[in-house]
């Protein structure tokens, strides 16, 4: 399923990242790659942005970007 | 002895600037800001044990791949400039992520020291870090430091000395995944057998770089005979690695390898004594501050507070400064007998400098607030909360702060755009700040509303004007994004740093340097330009006119009222004949389609100096004197008699949109990165103002 479909409190593992190279690289430098485990910490109003926790780092994402990340819910 | 040149590199929010302060603080600080247009790198010099240290603080970057402006600056500097030692600053509480950059830095093959900053925080969080073990794995000296408590700073300086003096570099013991290690071994073994050597690289290092597709190395090896024999071996190795990683994207493979290595190092060297599942402070605060329902109201309240502080608290010292400048000007003026010289010094120079100083309290308070928001980590949350709304208009969540500030004064608003890291986001925000009507436009609005509308509607009208401006600004932002600053949407993927108590020294330093740079740069330009406007409104000399009126005034010696009328008439005549008046008359045809006469035209043009001046100029032109304010009934009546409602509306629209005052324009040019942008802003605002004014006028006529 897509990362954007998850809700606050959900946990998941990243299966694949479909974004373009620059965003992929940005995610990698945050330590977010295939196999990373994440949890959803917060969603803004209307779920336009979401905050995820990966290996101790909190990351804010826009829904559009989150829709390009394939995850497996735990 | 030659200075040791040190480069500080690290990810954002690891406390690099604070560490520089701590390192140089006790050794005689000399800070110089060499600011670029978008990214600033700071240089600091100081002495330690008879060694000069020269430090360059690179912008914080998550990687060196060169996708963002900061990354490019860091990448180019590290690759092309001459330096002795890299200090890689890491956040001890986020070692794993920070090590990703370290792994990239290691590839530069330079002398390096790792500074694990925020050691005190790590201790508090129950993290135990095995420094010796990290040293053994990475192969460079590692020091636990805390810029907060100065712990380890002296040791860090000592290690830099040692590293700079030593000539050899220890090999690192970083281990890749089994597949990659296997291929490294095969390739390295082959090269050893052939006795192949390249620079100071070991065969293992060459093999790693070949497998991770280091382009520079491929270029270097291109003409080497060994390449022919390496090629089939490499192809085979790649196939092997591809199957294991389930992708053929080497960048992704490299990233996955690095992430695995960083994770491995962290697991091997950091012991966590914290209970699992325990909520940390940041999460607890986030539960409130970016709560789906509370987040935005809390933010708006904080903004309202900052706004109030800036403009209410700021107005107190502003009054002192204003009075002080006036008294100073009078005192100086009294000592000068020559009329022209007195006018130049008092009304030109002192008033000009005064106008610059006047904004200083605003700027200091606002930047204090912004520095607090930024150093505590709240600013990232602001982007998080507001990105959804602002993104619809092609803006970034962070644009909110400069835009709101724009309602007070555009000068600090332009300066506040520095928090936007993306060049195009910044430019769009800069261009639309003017649409947020600043405090100085208020007198103009109040004057015209008072002249043309009944009192009970005045408040609503004023609110409507402000809202119309803001909405127009958002629409313009969208238009600029679609037609001018075309770019793919900047993805919104940002770190939400941990909440931290602000450091007093760092905040003081930020505010102090911002204030100083404003005084230095804006000050000189604003001063020069206000002297120009002073000149244009006072020259050429019109001795005949003054003589005429001198005689008339003398004749009316007994009648006070008549003298005052004559004085006002003289002012009017003088302004009409000045260069500025001539300009106003010359440009009148341009404004005629909007229903403006030459008096309005001149008022708009003097308004370029400062918007309040629009009111006093109209006062002069209607011969009421320049001491009028927006509440003046005579002027209101004069306006109502002379202009139609349509003209008044068109005038309000024009004032709302056209070029901001001189001080703001100068700051705009500096922040946008050149006078050509000011020219664009002039064209953009003038055309928009003219067209919308024209439409307003024609509709209401």
- ipTM for the complex? 0.91
- pLDDT digits 0-9 by tens, B472-523: 999 999 999 988 888 777 778 888 888 888 878 778 877 887 788 777 766 6
Is the CB of residue B404 less than 8 Å from the CB of residue A65?
no
> Which residues of A are less than 8 Å from B298 in CB distance?
none
At residue B277, does pLDDT exceed 70?
A: no
Give strand pairing partners of B4: B53
pLDDT at B87: 92
Q: Is residue B700 part of a domain?
A: no
**Beta carbons of B384 and A60 less than 8 Å apart:** yes
Q: How many CA atoms lie within 13 A of B662 on its CB side?
A: 25
- pLDDT digits 0-9 by tens, A26-61: 888 888 888 888 999 888 888 889 999 988 888 998
Exposed/middle/buried for residue B479 (C-beta within 10 Å: 0-12, 13-18, 19+):
middle
B157 and B13, same structural domain? yes
Is the CB of residue B669 less than 8 Å from the CB of residue B675?
yes
Enter the pTM of the model: 0.75
**Beta carbons of A60 and B286 less than 8 Å apart:** no
B591 CB contacts (<8 Å, ≥6 apart)? B600, B601, B604
Of B675, B344, B256, nearest to B530 by C-alpha is B344
pLDDT at B33: 36
pLDDT: which is higher, B7 or B27: B7
CB crowding B368-380: b at 16 or more within 10 Å, else e: bbbbbbbbbbbbb
By DSSP bridging, strand B127-129 and strand A37-43 are: unpaired
Is the CB of residue B461 less than 8 Å from the CB of residue B450?
no
**Beta carbons of B388 and A46 less than 8 Å apart:** yes
At residue B132, does pLDDT exceed 70?
A: yes
The CATH superfamily of A3-73 is Ferrous iron transport protein A (FeoA) (2.30.30.90)
**Beta carbons of B97 and A60 less than 8 Å apart:** no
DSSP B2: P
* Closest Cα in chain B to A30: B97
Residue B120, token pair as written in the block: 């005190």
Q: Is residue B331 part of a domain?
A: no
B242 and B188, same structural domain? yes
Is the CB of residue B4 less than 8 Å from the CB of residue B164?
yes
Is the CB of residue B98 less than 8 Å from the CB of residue B8?
no
Is the CB of residue B53 less than 8 Å from the CB of residue B46?
yes
Q: Is residue B102 part of a domain?
A: yes
Is the CB of residue A51 less than 8 Å from the CB of residue B496?
yes
pLDDT at B38: 33
Using CA of residue B105, residue B106, residue B109, residue B110, what is the dihedral sign? positive
CA distance B246 to A74: 22
Q: Is residue B122 part of a domain?
A: yes
B204 and B70, same structural domain? no
- pLDDT digits 0-9 by tens, B164-212: 888 776 777 888 988 899 999 999 999 888 888 877 788 888 898 888 8
Percent of chain B past pLDDT 70, that is, above it, reads 91
Residue B15, token pair as written in the block: 């406390």
Q: How confident is the model at residue B30 (pLDDT cuts 50, 70, 90)?
A: very low
- pLDDT digits 0-9 by tens, B529-579: 667 777 887 778 777 777 888 787 777 777 777 777 777 777 778 878 888
Q: How confident is the model at residue B31 (pLDDT cuts 50, 70, 90)?
A: very low
**Beta carbons of B296 and A45 less than 8 Å apart:** yes
Range of B238's domain?
178-246
Is the CB of residue B660 less than 8 Å from the CB of residue B434?
yes
**Beta carbons of B387 and A35 less than 8 Å apart:** no
Is the CB of residue B402 less than 8 Å from the CB of residue B432?
no
Rounded mean pLDDT, B456-485: 88
Last residue of a domain, one of B110, B132, B165: B165
Residue A35, token pair as written in the block: 């196999």
Of B121-125, B631-635, B669-673, least confident by mean pLDDT is B631-635
* Closest Cα in chain B to A9: B287
CA distance B552 to B672: 52
At residue B316, does pLDDT exceed 50?
A: yes
B79 and B14, same structural domain? yes
At residue B287, does pLDDT exceed 90?
A: no
Q: What is the mean pLDDT of chain B?
A: 82
B65 and B28, same structural domain? yes
Is the CB of residue B168 less than 8 Å from the CB of residue B136?
no
DSSP A15: E
**Beta carbons of B493 and A23 less than 8 Å apart:** yes
Last residue of a domain, one of B246, B264, B280: B246
At residue B629, does pLDDT exceed 70?
A: no
CATH code, domain carrying B89: 3.40.50.300
Last residue of a domain, one of B165, B190, B217: B165
A9 touches B: beta carbon within 8 Å = no
B124 and B55, same structural domain? yes
B662 CB contacts (<8 Å, ≥6 apart)? B526, B529, B530, B533, B608, B609, B610
User: In a mutagenesis test of the B interface, which of A9, A14, A25 is the best target, namely the one with the most B β-carbons within 10 Å?
Assistant: A25
Give strand pairing partners of B56: B7, B43
Listed in sequence order, the DSSP H helices in B492-626 are 504-517, 523-538, 543-555, 560-577, 579-586, 588-591, 598-606, 612-621
pLDDT at B174: 86
At residue B698, does pLDDT exceed 90?
A: yes
Q: Is residue B92 part of a domain?
A: yes
CA distance B104 to B71: 12
B159 and B112, same structural domain? yes
User: In a mutagenesis test of the A interface, which of B99, B101, B247, B388 is the best target, namely the one with the most A β-carbons within 10 Å?
Assistant: B388
Q: Distance (Å) from the C-alpha of residue A48 to the closest C-alpha of chain B? A: 5
Is the CB of residue B447 less than 8 Å from the CB of residue B94?
no
Exposed/middle/buried for residue B301 (C-beta within 10 Å: 0-12, 13-18, 19+):
exposed
Rg (CA), chain A: 11
CA distance B89 to B21: 14
Q: How confident is the model at residue B36 (pLDDT cuts 50, 70, 90)?
A: very low
Listed in sequence order, the DSSP H helices in B350-409 are 351-358, 360-376, 378-391, 400-406
Whether residue B540 has a cis bond before it, omega within 30° of 0: yes
CA distance A32 to B255: 9
Is the CB of residue B89 less than 8 Å from the CB of residue B16?
yes
> Between helices B645-657 and B675-700, what is the axis angle to 10°?
160
Is the CB of residue B451 less than 8 Å from the CB of residue B640?
yes
Q: How many CA atoms lie within 13 A of A5 on its CB side?
A: 9
B159 and B30, same structural domain? yes
CA distance B324 to B339: 22
pLDDT: which is higher, B268 or B72: B268
Is the CB of residue B413 less than 8 Å from the CB of residue B436?
yes
At residue B26, does pLDDT exceed 60?
A: no
Give the range with max mean pLDDT: B7-11, B226-230, B456-460.
Answer: B7-11
- pLDDT digits 0-9 by tens, B229-265: 888 888 989 999 998 888 888 888 888 889 999 999 9
pLDDT at A12: 93
pLDDT: which is higher, B678 or B602: B678
Is the CB of residue B309 less than 8 Å from the CB of residue B369?
yes
A15 touches B: beta carbon within 8 Å = no
Polymer length in residues for chain B: 701
> What's the total number of domains in chain B?
2
């Amino acid at each position: 399923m897509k990362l954007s479909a998850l809700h606050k409190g959900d946990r998941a593992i990243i299966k694949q990242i479909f974004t373009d190279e620059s965003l992929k690289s940005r995610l990698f430098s945050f330590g977010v790659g295939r196999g990373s485990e994440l949890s959803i910490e917060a969603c803004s109003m209307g779920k336009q942005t979401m905050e995820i926790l990966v290996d101790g780092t909190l990351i804010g994402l826009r829904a559009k970007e989150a829709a390009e990340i394939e995850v497996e819910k735990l | 002895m030659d200075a040791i040149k040190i480069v500080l590199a690290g990810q954002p929010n690891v406390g690099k600037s604070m560490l520089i302060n701590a390192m140089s603080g006790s050794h005689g600080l000399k800070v110089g800001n060499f600011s670029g247009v978008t990214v600033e790198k700071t240089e600091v010099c100081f002495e330690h044990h008879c060694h000069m240290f020269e430090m360059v603080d690179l912008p914080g970057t998550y990687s060196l791949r060169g996708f963002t402006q900061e990354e490019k600056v860091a990448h180019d500097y590290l690759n092309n400039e001459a330096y002795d030692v890299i200090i890689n600053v890491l956040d001890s509480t986020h070692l794993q992520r920070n090590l990703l950059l370290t792994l990239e830095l290691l590839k530069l093959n330079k002398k390096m020291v790792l500074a694990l900053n925020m050691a005190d925080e790590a201790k508090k969080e129950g993290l135990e870090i095995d420094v010796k073990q990290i040293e053994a794995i990475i192969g460079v000296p590692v020091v636990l430091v805390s810029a907060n408590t100065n712990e380890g700073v002296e040791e860090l300086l000592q290690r830099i000395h040692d590293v700079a003096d030593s000539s050899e570099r220890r090999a690192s013991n970083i281990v890749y995944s089994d597949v990659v290690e296997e291929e490294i071994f095969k390739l390295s073994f082959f090269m050893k057998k052939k006795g192949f050597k390249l620079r100071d690289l070991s065969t293992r290092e060459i093999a790693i770089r070949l497998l991770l597709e280091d382009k520079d190395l491929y270029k270097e090896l291109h003409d080497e005979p060994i390449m022919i024999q390496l090629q089939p071996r490499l192809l085979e190795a790649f196939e092997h690695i591809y199957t294991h990683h389930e992708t053929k994207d080497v960048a992704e493979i490299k990233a996955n390898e690095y992430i695995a290595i960083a994770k491995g190092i962290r697991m091997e060297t950091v012991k966590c004594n914290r209970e699992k599942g325990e909520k940390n402070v940041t999460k607890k605060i986030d539960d409130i501050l970016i709560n789906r329902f509370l987040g935005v109201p809390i933010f708006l309240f904080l903004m309202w507070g900052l706004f109030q502080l800036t403009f209410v608290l700021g107005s107190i010292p502003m009054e002192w400064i204003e009075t002080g400048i006036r008294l100073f000007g009078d005192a100086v003026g009294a000592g000068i007998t020559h009329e022209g010289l007195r006018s130049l010094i008092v009304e030109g120079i002192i008033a000009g400098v005064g106008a610059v100083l006047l904004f200083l309290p605003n700027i200091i308070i606002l930047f204090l607030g912004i520095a607090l928001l930024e150093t505590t980590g709240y600013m990232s949350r602001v982007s998080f909360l507001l990105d959804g709304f602002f993104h619809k208009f092609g803006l970034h969540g962070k644009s909110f702060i400069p835009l709101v500030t724009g309602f007070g004064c555009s000068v600090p608003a332009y300066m506040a755009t520095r928090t936007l890291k993306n060049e195009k986001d910044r430019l769009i925000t800069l261009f639309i700040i003017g649409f947020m009507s600043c405090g100085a436009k208020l007198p103009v609005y109040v004057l015209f509303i008072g002249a043309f509308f009944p009192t009970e509607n005045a408040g609503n009208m004023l609110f409507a004007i402000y809202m119309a401006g803001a909405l127009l600004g958002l629409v313009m932002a969208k238009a600029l994004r679609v037609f001018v600053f075309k770019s793919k949407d900047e993805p919104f993927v940002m770190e939400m740093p941990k909440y931290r108590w602000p450091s007093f020294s760092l905040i003081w330093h930020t505010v102090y340097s911002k204030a100083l740079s404003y005084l230095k740069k804006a000050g000189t330009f604003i001063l020069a330009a206000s002297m120009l406007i002073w000149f244009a409104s006072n020259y050429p000399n019109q001795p005949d006119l003054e003589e005429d009126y001198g005689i008339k005034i003398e004749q009316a010696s007994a009648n006070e009222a008549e003298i005052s009328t004559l004085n006002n008439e003289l002012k009017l005549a003088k302004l009409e004949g000045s260069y500025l008046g001539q300009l106003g008359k010359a440009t009148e045809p341009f404004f005629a389609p909007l229903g403006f006469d030459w008096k309005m035209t001149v008022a708009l043009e003097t308004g370029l100096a400062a918007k309040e001046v629009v009111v006093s100029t109209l006062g002069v032109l209607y011969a009421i004197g320049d001491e009028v304010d927006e509440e003046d009934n005579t002027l209101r009546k004069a306006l109502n008699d002379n202009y139609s409602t349509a003209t008044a509306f068109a005038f309000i629209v024009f004032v709302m949109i056209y070029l901001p005052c001189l001080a703001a324009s100068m700051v705009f040019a500096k922040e946008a990165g050149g006078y050509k942008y000011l020219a664009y802003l002039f064209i953009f605002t003038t055309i928009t103002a003219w067209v919308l004014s024209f439409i307003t006028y024609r509709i209401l006529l």
